[in-house]
Chain A
Amino acid sequence: MNKVINVLIVGVGGQGVLLASEVLSEVAMRSGLDVKKSEVHGMSQRGGVVSSHVKFGPKVHSPIIPYGQADILISFEQAEALRAVDWVKKNGLVATSTTRLVPPITAGGKFTYPEDAVAGLRKKFKDVISLDADKIALEMGNSRLVNILLLGVVSSRLEFDLSAWEEAIKSRVKAKFVDLNLKAFARGRELAEEAIQSKA
């Protein structure tokens, strides 16, 4: 990797955005790259939008991704992926869960939740992987696996050794959940392969 790669991870408070960005940063660091990541804590934790910017490469300056410069967008919620499209490169990869978290504010009639956010994403980008990560994670035994599952999905597009991913997951996830998370990661990687093959 001789240029800076920008990855934007988005979701709603409580979905594990921060852990996902920690793991990704750790992978890049273990691979000998410079890394910066940024998010704002505070009021956004109270049911709000959470986004984390991760940048890695030979030398990273600011911790913020400029508009239109994210190589990869990972989203744990479909409408949040749509909210983040301004940041993504035209030929960037969008990997999103089809999860819908509809907030009460849409009850008033003033705001509406998009009918099909994934269709909206496909209109804007060629390279979109969508999957019901919540369902898959629940089938695997824990809805909190969504974040690592989606890291697995994008991992085949990043030039990191599998061992770096595994070490990073081991170092960042609580010991008793490590095995389950490693499985979720592997499952995500498989699903990405399947998605590519089904396209071809």
Chain B
Amino acid sequence: MKKLLSGNEAVARGAFEAGIKLAAAYPGTPSTEILETIAEWFPSIYAEWSPNEKVAFEVGIGSSLGGARTLVTMKHVGVNVAADPLMTFAYTGVGGGFIFVSADDPEMHSSQNEQDNRYFAKFAQIPFLEPADSQEAKDFVLKGLEISEKFDTPVMLHMTTRVSHSKSLVDEAEPVTAPAVGFKRDMQKYVMIPANAKKRHAILKERLGKLREFSETTELNAIENNGSNIGIITGGIAYQYAKDNLPDADYLKIGFGFPLPLDKIRKFVESHKKVLIIEELEPYFEEAVRAAGIKVEGKKYFSNLGELSPYKVGLGLKEAGQLKEVLGAEVEPETLFPRPPVLCPGCPHRGAYMALKKTGVAVTGDIGCYTLGMLPPLSYLDSCICMGASIGNAIGMEKVGGYEKGVVAVIGDSTFLHSGITGLLNAVYNKSNVTVMILDNRVTAMTGGQQHPATGYTLMGEETKQVDYFELCKALGVESVRVADAYDYKGTIQIIKEEVARPGPSVILTNRPCVLMPKRIMDKPYTVDLELCNGCSACFRIGCPALMPSKEMTKRNHPKAVIDPVLCTGCSLCAQVCQPEAIVLAEESVKAK
């Protein structure tokens, strides 16, 4: 029976049908739902959230060495973290079939960059497969594992946000019985001391030759002949956008993207009057094809910034003279107010940023919900580079005397466990004076509420040990570790001031949980006494979506505030900044009247 599945759900289904035994990942948009789906739908597969992508990848290698079919998933920047084991695993080759997902995020819907990870496959010299819809996402997991086993190589499945998060119809099939390999001791293959690695590098080159032959003949690189003199070379989601515009052109759809089938491409180009390459982001295909001396055009017409779309591809085809009218026209967009992402009502990060702003320190930031602290009206964040960067950034900045008022690193709980611990170790070891604020909301919030090593539960729902941050920081050698209540504005300011002034590294743990996950936290709502409100707008400056301008104006024509009782969680932060004390508990306001 057909089912409507997202690309991510389809990968999970593929893992099940392929007999995958182990799946490991660190959450990251747009890849997160693959492991969540496996844990929910296919509990026969062992699935884990690892603390970061490097560990997930290494767990995956271990599983492969142990002879099992294995899946590891991550977002594009996660591959940067896992690059170290990847580059050498390409030398050793696999035990059980090994496939990892790189889910790229063109357009940066929820990422800090839009790197094109097809180059990672080329860099590591391993094959990559690229699905264009959910059916292919499922099928390519099985095909990828067969290739991995046949050629003794890790394989990358290259997804993008649009393929991961779009839904389309998928035919489900019965699971196959995965080959039972078991662990085979082979030191020459798996122990990468230079003497062995030199031999393995030669084997990798030999393997590459075989993969090149395979690329020429595999149906993954299929020619779609419609009798046209226009040829399009494309792959992944770009294929769909091209088909929307030119349904009757001839296509060479690249599903197996490294090494490329250059002979097939050459013949395709020679047998058409005009051939265009359409690919998202970088000219990965185009560079390789041109380097082989084949004359094609591509990025000349299609942007290398952001996601492609039916419209953008249409524009390019028109410019290339292949389309008379672009489907749909870009109209002047309505000039409307934006709805930027905001910290939720009651979010404990709000209290942390309010206090940081008051102290005037420099704030190095990290990856998570709290990156929203840079948005107005709080606007108090000085950097955001990658997972775990905040602490190293703060140390460097402080060492050169970058900011006289002091430097504070803010990092979320899951991010700290991902790659912040070594940064803090460095702060102790190299005698830094930074203060690290661990914004512990007890969940991986930005990606939708995943477990991590301090939540007490595994991905599969089992109870487990919880990291004790206090003991951990003490063990690393941090002498001052203090807890701040992010809902206590003045108290948090005081603690930040004291810790910034203290010589040596220090840690401040905020201890309020996320108000949305794992369960919704609602305390008694507050209300505005309109007689007392003087329209100073101090409460608006904390950026809470539950606080809005009312229709009532002051004599000076400033709007007074009103609180949405449905949205208000009762965190009380707005009441703490209200000078005329107009913001009060709703129930007390009723009693007083």
> Residues of A with Cβ closer than 8 Å to B?
12, 22, 25-26, 29, 34-49, 60-69, 79, 82-83, 85-86, 102-108, 111-114, 120
B369 → chain A, closest Cβ, in Å? Answer: 8
Partner of B240, one of A62, A67, A68: A62
User: Assuming the A-B contacts A62-B243, A67-B311, are A107 and B559 also in contact, with contact meaning beta carbons closer than 8 angstroms in the complex?
Assistant: yes
Residues on A with C-beta less than 8 A from B168 are 34-37, 60, 63
Residues on B with C-beta less than 8 A from A35 are 4, 167-169
Q: How many residues of B contact A (CB 8 A)?
A: 54
B520 → chain A, closest Cβ, in Å? Answer: 12
Partner of A34, one of B169, B338, B343, B540: B169
Partner of A48, one of B331, B341, B543, B549: B341
Partner of B544, one of A36, A38, A39, A104: A104
Most chain B CB inside 10 Å of its own CB: which residue of A34, A37, A41: A41
- Asked whether B169 lies within 8 Å of A64 as measured between CB atoms, the reply is no
User: Assuming the A-B contacts A36-B168, A103-B545, are A66 and B334 also in contact, with contact meaning beta carbons closer than 8 angstroms in the complex?
Assistant: no
> Residues of B with Cβ closer than 8 Å to A?
2, 4, 29-30, 109-110, 133, 161-162, 165-169, 237, 240-241, 243-244, 247, 309-311, 314, 327-331, 333-334, 336-344, 369, 372, 377, 446, 448, 537, 540, 543-545, 547-549, 559
- Asked whether B344 lies within 8 Å of A111 as measured between CB atoms, the reply is no
Q: How far is the CA of A40 from the CA of B329 in the complex (A)?
A: 22
Q: How far is the CA of A107 from the CA of B334 in the complex (A)?
A: 20
What is the interface of chain B mostly: helix, strand, loop, or mixed?
A: loop
Partner of A67, one of B165, B331, B377: B331
Residues on A with C-beta less than 8 A from B167 are 25, 35-38, 63
- Which chain B residue lies CB-closest to A60? B168
Residues on A with C-beta less than 8 A from B372 are 46
- Asked whether A41 lies within 8 Å of B30 as measured between CB atoms, the reply is yes
Residues on A with C-beta less than 8 A from B331 are 67-68, 85-86
- Which chain B residue lies CB-closest to A86? B331
23 contacts between A and B (CB under 8 A): A25-B4, A29-B169, A34-B168, A35-B4, A36-B167, A37-B167, A41-B110, A43-B110, A45-B341, A46-B342, A62-B240, A63-B162, A63-B166, A64-B310, A68-B331, A79-B336, A83-B334, A86-B330, A103-B545, A104-B540, A105-B337, A111-B336, A120-B334
Residues on A with C-beta less than 8 A from B333 are 83, 86
B110 → chain A, closest Cβ, in Å? Answer: 3
- Asked whether B162 lies within 8 Å of A38 as measured between CB atoms, the reply is yes
Residues on B with C-beta less than 8 A from A112 are 337
User: Assuming the A-B contacts A39-B165, A46-B344, A62-B243, are A107 and B549 also in contact, with contact meaning beta carbons closer than 8 angstroms in the complex?
Assistant: yes
Q: How far is the CA of A107 from the CA of B331 in the complex (A)?
A: 28
Most chain B CB inside 10 Å of its own CB: which residue of A60, A61, A106, A108: A61
Most chain B CB inside 10 Å of its own CB: which residue of A22, A26, A48, A113: A48
Q: How far is the CA of A56 from the CA of B356 in the complex (A)?
A: 51
- Asked whether A62 lies within 8 Å of B337 as measured between CB atoms, the reply is no
